[in-house]
Structure 1
Amino acid sequence: MRTVRTGARTPARWRAFACGLAFLGICMFAASSSALVPHLSALFSGELTPDPEAKLPAPTRFSYRGTHTTVVSGIEAPLRTRLEATVPADLGDVLAFYRTELGKLGWQETHDGAVIAADRVQLTFASPLGPALLELNRKDGSTAVELVQKNAETATKANVMPEPGQAKVVFSNIAETDAVLTIDARTVTRARGTNAVALDLPPGKYPYEVTVPGHPAQANTLVIAAGDTWELTVGRDGDAWSPLHLY
């Protein structure tokens, strides 16, 4: 099916593909367990030093840290890796740490939508693997860190790479019955056991509804940015899962 959304530069279209998407793998570190807390000298020292065991750059000093990866069956490299951390340090010190450590890895700031304020920082990067984003927020005397790196090669192999300037929504149904997604004035039905379908959309805010026989309709809103891919999945029990940020 080929349709055009008003104001869109490229046509929106559904495309079926065998995505084989696996799901979120999470490796968590929490201060509640003494085995997972950095040595006290690292926690209270003035200097931020990189942790060689972190999947993405992170200081050894933290009160919380979690790493989340989105993976695809049959492809070793993750689609998307996200680091969350709470660092007991000033935002300026954490920003300096990341600019230094990311620069060592060949990440280059793109200055696209950059925000640098006393209590908040948002920077975009071009990393060797693909687009990346760093967000820092001052919170309760510490700095909250979110660092995301996308893998463009994996997204291309998995057929989930958005068109330039567009976003992509993937609809998957693993229920024992048909499922219907209505979004952007389009309706698509996926029978049980069929491949996922993908829709290219302009960036924006999209209300959507998922219906499955024998279940109440489930409505939600998805906000998508250019270059992002999200998955909407109906689980085996017929319930719509929370949207998953794939890429």
Structure 2
Amino acid sequence: MNVPRDRCDQDQDKGLPPSDFVETGIRIMKSRTLGALLIGGLVAATAVLASPVAASLGRTSEADSIRFSWSRTTGVNDYLDETWWAVRGHDTPDNFVERLLSIPVGAVARGAGAGFQARVSQGTGLPLPESWSIATAKNSPFITSVYAETPRDLAAVLGFYRTELGKRGWIETVLEPDRAVITFTTPRGPILLRLSRQDDRTIAELSLRRPGIANAGLLPRPGQAKLMLGNTSDAAAVITVADQIIKLPAHAGENLADSDSAAAEIPDSQKIDLPPGRYKVTLKVDGGAAESREFEIAANETRGLLASKDGALVPMRLY
């Protein structure tokens, strides 16, 4: 299926929520004048809090930052595919002046983060836990899913989902305590919650399979799992998984999550078929430090892994 996808930078200029695609980096630069930065930062924070979804400041900071992006692809027969992802950064200021300067910056980042959470909840109908460091969401004819990494412990995250999903009247039907896997029965169909603890963070995945027929390029082999790799950064990246090394030029496959057609255009060299299980994945972006994660992927699932502009590995459930 060929589906149109337009870039709407003019929406940013008008201060309107983007209709198709916006990539926004929220970062605030340190100013030579303390007073000017404080005033400017507070004004910017007020604007973000007033309309967080439309926030687009495009500045930088060493104190706190958030980079987020979303896309919307439409086509014939009511085809709709939406994608969101965000990476949060927290750096500790070195001295009193930097800590003071970080106050308005933090307000901007918090406002942008709240707007991102509201946008994800509105688009997917699924909750996103607070204090996340990486968050992604997908709403397509084949899957509705939310992924989050948070420093909160597993028990706290499990309690959050039980409370939030219980408010919706969704009934917990299956529990595997050793793996923190829960299925909720909902009017939309069974929703699967998977929680795991890794190093100093809890990884939460909430997903609802949908009946749409995906492009063959997106589908895993029967009984297998599929990884699709992309690079949104301006530098070359190397991803290592299951003893396979995949080299990705800058921006190779950066749009793989936008639609099933975009995923189908990814070359076979950026696709890996694997037996279901848990895998260690290492990302190395030129000029940055290597980052390693472990991911669990089940049979008949497809997951996208993107190298972000911040050098973070961003996972996303695609099918």
Higher relative contact order (CA 8 A, sep 6+): 1
Q: TM-score, normalised by structure 1?
A: 0.49
